[in-house]
Amino acid sequence: MANREVASGGMQIRSYRDLEVWQVGMELVERVYGLSAEFPAEERFGLTSQIRRAAISIPSNIAEGHGRESTQDFVRFLRIAQGSLKEVETQALLAQRLGQAPDTRVDQVLTLADRLGRMIRGLARSLQKR
């Protein structure tokens, strides 16, 4: 998959690290770590662990999909990343409902998650048209 030309702009992608969708995914992981650092200590093996694993899964699946041999595989991994993104959103909202996270931090995570979701869907659609 090296040197894959991405439909959006025709730019050569030499590595998954060149993908803006992966970069935004990494930013989301950083935000989730910041958010979950404020959770109570008793949540360390519960919600904290869950939301962090789900967040890490997003850019990891984007990278793994990019490294696969076929466009169909890449799209499949983008769908997995999208599912993990929905987990992060749900867990952030749960933390908010339980009073474990400030609304402003949750809103920041959800805003970035929404942007990332649109990017993942757009990339998947673009790849499916090929």
For every residue of 82-118, DSSP letters joined together read HHHHHHHHHHHHHHHHTT-S-HHHHHHHHHHHHHHHH
Return d(Cα 85, Cα 91) in angstroms, integer. 10
Return d(Cα 121, Cα 108) in angstroms, integer. 20
pLDDT in tens, 66-115: 999 899 999 999 999 999 999 999 999 999 999 999 999 999 999 999 99
The answer to pTM > 0.75 is yes
Residues of the chain with pLDDT > 90, as a percent, come to 85
Whole-number pLDDT of residue 10: 56
Whole-number pLDDT of residue 11: 59
Q: CATH second-level architecture of 4-128?
A: Up-down Bundle (1.20)
Domain boundaries, the chain: 4-128
Specify whether the CB–CB gap between 12 and 3 falls below 8 A.
Answer: yes
Confidence at 51, pLDDT banded by 50, 70, 90: very high
